[in-house]
């Protein structure tokens, strides 16, 4: 799927194993700020016990407090008990936020009047008894057991992995909860979590948060982290690197075949940012034959810019979004008909692909 | 004597060719390109002398024609939103057949993402009125508001060109609709 990343991953495997989660960026650019979730919650391991949380922030975290944070801790604990990592912990908290606002609710909804608990699991036998579905730890455990059966769940966008587990009607429903879930998991990772024991005189001290499980899947740097500060009406170069193959015809270095090349190739390193060349709307962001993944921006006035060869997880915008000049829209990749990381950049005017270099130069953004 | 010089030159050439081939092979193995692209157009901008990434042989998806807003475009967008949403909320007996019908009405990204939806979990069951189009500033995007028995769905559509069909990017339920889950 992503040969380059696999190769890079192999090179930095020792880093990953020692707890680093910036592996894919390490060799090519200064590491971005850590964006992986915190590393799990220390707990004692008495599955099924009621969870009591001490040392939590007394103020709300992302709008969640008290009982809600305790339930989040139970979800995280269930993930950890199954040997799952902080990505999974955050994913479970995200789903419980989207289903129940992290409350063990004893009622369903329009489509599932029999839905119950943190995950709104139904009474169809797939999610256990009523008591199971109303128990934070058991319901979370059953959620995770279903999640890990989803092929490639850790690499999917969290809301999609969640949808394939929950089978809910809106696959994007949980997206809005990913950020808050990251905040809650971060806050709880520093907390001390203890279980209620049968002997109150001998409380089990909470283990420190160092019971870390390395994250399997790092999230890409948040969009906007490295946006260029460009004036509203301006044009900027879409990537930093030399022009390695210009618009026009070219002879293939290996086969000698001469064929049309309808864009400019910019030799920017793997994972480096691709910037919106100007203000516009995202009209395409997905797979396209040859391009691997393609993003197309509509700038109005019949002008489109097109960006190719990114990997699926290197897209940071979605169709319908508005972008500003210099906003990071994607990461440079080598997907599709490509043998090395670069940006294939195209400009369309009134339905025709034109030479990007002179067009961009005329807008004050010289490529290369 | 001259013949001998030529022979030496030939040998040198062979050695050079072998070395170049070996270097190229090594570069290929390392994922680099073996040689910079040679621009055929001499007036083209300066290219880097560094190893250039290649685009492999093959066909790239053709872009669509320029799109502009006109009545046929708007009618087509309303029709696409209505057809797809009616199917989306139809609560079919056969979920597989439902997906086979729905998938071609979705964009590539939506087709990837909606494959996990169980149609039995869609809260709406039928359309309750005509769709209303919110014409977008971009002629490649359209938003249709489609009334259902579960409130108004917002359906985002996109097209790849004026000569391409409108496809659904997302069916967004009315606000504050909690996700109902779970097969």
How far apart CA B142 and CA B134 sit, in angstroms, is: 6
Nearest-by-Cβ selection for B56 from A111, A258, A339: A339
Using alpha carbons, select from B131, B59, B125 the residue that is nearest to residue B92. B125
Nearest C-alpha in A relative to B62: A289
Residue A134 binned pLDDT confidence (cut-offs 50, 70, 90): very high
The verdict on a CB contact (< 8 Å) between B61 and A288 is yes
Nearest-by-Cβ selection for B53 from A289, A291, A339: A339
Closest-CA distance, A198 to chain B, in angstroms, reads: 35
Say whether the ipTM exceeds 0.95.
no
Give B108 or B22, the one with higher predicted confidence. B108
**B-chain residues near A98 (CB < 8 A):** 178-179
Using alpha carbons, select from B144, B139, B140, B141 the residue that is nearest to residue B172. B144
Nearest C-alpha in A relative to B158: A283
Residue A256 binned pLDDT confidence (cut-offs 50, 70, 90): confident
Q: How many CB atoms lie within 10 A of CB A176?
A: 12
Residue A63: is its pLDDT beyond 80? yes
What does the pLDDT look like over B127-182, one tens digit per residue?
999 999 997 899 999 999 999 999 999 999 999 999 999 999 999 999 864 444 33
The verdict on a CB contact (< 8 Å) between B116 and A171 is yes
Give A208 or A56, the one with higher predicted confidence. A56
The verdict on a CB contact (< 8 Å) between A119 and B121 is no
| Lowest-confidence pick of A122-131, B30-39, B167-176 | B30-39
The verdict on a CB contact (< 8 Å) between B38 and A291 is no
What pLDDT is recorded for position B51?
A: 53
What does the pLDDT look like over A326-364, one tens digit per residue?
999 999 999 999 889 999 999 999 999 999 999 999 999
**B-chain residues near A125 (CB < 8 A):** none
Count A/B contacts: CB-CB distance under 8 Å. 256
- Across the range A96-113, mean pLDDT stands at 90
**A-chain residues near B180 (CB < 8 A):** 108-112, 115, 120, 168-169
Residue A161: is its pLDDT beyond 60? yes
What pLDDT is recorded for position A311?
A: 95
Helix A67-81 to helix A175-189 angle (10° resolution) is 90
Nearest C-alpha in B relative to A309: B55
CB B108 within 8 A of CB B61: no
What does the pLDDT look like over B46-96, one tens digit per residue?
444 345 556 777 778 888 899 999 999 999 999 999 999 999 999 999 999
How far apart CA A293 and CA A101 sit, in angstroms, is: 35
Residue A260: is its pLDDT beyond 80? no
**A-chain residues near B57 (CB < 8 A):** 252, 255, 257, 337
What are the tokens at A165? 């587990």
CB B136 within 8 A of CB B151: no
CB B122 within 8 A of CB A111: yes
- Across the range B100-127, mean pLDDT stands at 96
What pLDDT is recorded for position B53?
A: 58
What pLDDT is recorded for position A277?
A: 97
What does the pLDDT look like over B16-26, one tens digit per residue?
454 444 444 44
Q: Quote the mean pLDDT of chain A.
A: 79
Residue A68: is its pLDDT beyond 90? yes
Nearest-by-Cβ selection for B158 from A167, A267, A284: A284
The verdict on a CB contact (< 8 Å) between A339 and B107 is no
Residue B14: C-alpha distances to residues A254, A340, B1, B21 (Å): 19, 29, 20, 10
How far apart CA A52 and CA A206 sit, in angstroms, is: 10
Residues forming a β-bridge with A354 = A347
Give A205 or B134, the one with higher predicted confidence. B134
| Lowest-confidence pick of A36-40, A308-312, B29-33 | A36-40
State if pTM tops 0.80. Answer: no
């Amino acid at each position: 799927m992503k040969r380059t990343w696999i190769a890079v991953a192999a090179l930095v495997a020792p880093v990953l194993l020692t707890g680093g989660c910036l592996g894919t960026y390490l060799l090519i650019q200064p590491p971005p700020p850590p964006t992986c979730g915190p590393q799990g919650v220390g707990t004692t391991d008495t599955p099924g016990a009621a969870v009591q949380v001490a040392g939590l922030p007394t103020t709300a975290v992302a709008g969640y407090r008290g009982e809600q944070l305790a339930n989040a801790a139970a979800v995280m604990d269930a993930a950890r008990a199954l040997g799952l990592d902080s990505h999974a912990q955050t994913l479970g908290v995200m789903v419980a936020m989207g289903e129940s606002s992290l409350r063990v609710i004893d009622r369903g909804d329009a489509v599932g009047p029999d839905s119950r608990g943190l995950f709104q699991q139904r009474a169809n036998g797939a999610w256990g008894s009523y008591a199971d579905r109303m128990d934070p730890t058991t319901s979370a455990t059953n959620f995770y057991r279903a999640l890990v059966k989803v092929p490639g769940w850790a690499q999917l966008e969290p809301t999609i992995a969640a949808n394939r587990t929950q089978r809910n009607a809106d696959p994007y429903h949980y997206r809005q909860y990913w950020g808050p879930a990251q905040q809650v998991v971060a806050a709880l990772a520093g907390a001390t979590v203890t279980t209620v024991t049968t002997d109150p005189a001998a409380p089990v001290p909470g283990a420190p948060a160092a019971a870390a499980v390395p994250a399997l899947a790092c999230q890409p740097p948040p969009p906007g982290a490295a946006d260029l500060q460009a004036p509203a009406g301006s044009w900027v170069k879409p990537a930093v690197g030399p022009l390695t193959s210009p618009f026009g015809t070219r002879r293939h270095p290996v086969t000698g075949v001469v064929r049309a090349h309808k864009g400019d190739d910019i030799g920017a390193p793997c994972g480096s940012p691709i910037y919106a060349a100007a203000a516009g709307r995202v009209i395409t962001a997905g797979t396209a034959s040859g391009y691997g993944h393609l993003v197309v921006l509509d700038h109005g006035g019949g002008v489109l810019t097109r960006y190719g060869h990114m990997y699926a997880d290197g897209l940071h915008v979605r169709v319908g979004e508005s972008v500003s000049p210099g906003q990071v829209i994607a990461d440079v990749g080598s997907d599709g008909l490509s043998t090395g990381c670069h940006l294939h950049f195209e400009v369309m005017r009134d339905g025709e692909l034109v030479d990007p270099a002179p067009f961009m130069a005329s807008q004050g953004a010289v490529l290369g | 004597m001259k013949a001998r010089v030529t022979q030496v030159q030939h040998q040198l050439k062979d050695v050079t060719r072998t070395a170049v081939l070996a270097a190229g092979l090594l570069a290929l193995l390392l994922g680099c390109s073996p040689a910079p692209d040679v621009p055929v157009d001499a007036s083209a901008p300066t290219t880097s002398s560094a190893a250039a990434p290649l685009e492999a042989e093959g066909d790239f998806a053709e872009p669509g024609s320029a799109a502009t807003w006109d009545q046929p475009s708007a009618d087509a967008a309303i029709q696409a939103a209505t057809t797809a949403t009616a199917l989306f909320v139809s609560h079919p007996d056969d979920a597989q057949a439902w997906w086979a019908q729905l998938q071609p009405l979705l964009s590539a990204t939506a087709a990837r993402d909606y494959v996990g939806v169980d149609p039995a979990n869609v809260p709406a069951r039928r359309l309750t009125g005509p769709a209303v189009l919110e014409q977008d500033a971009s002629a490649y995007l359209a938003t249709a508001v489609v009334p259902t028995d579960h409130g108004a769905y917002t359906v985002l559509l996109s097209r790849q060109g004026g000569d391409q069909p409108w496809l659904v990017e997302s069916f967004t339920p009315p606000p504050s609709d909690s996700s109902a889950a779970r097969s």
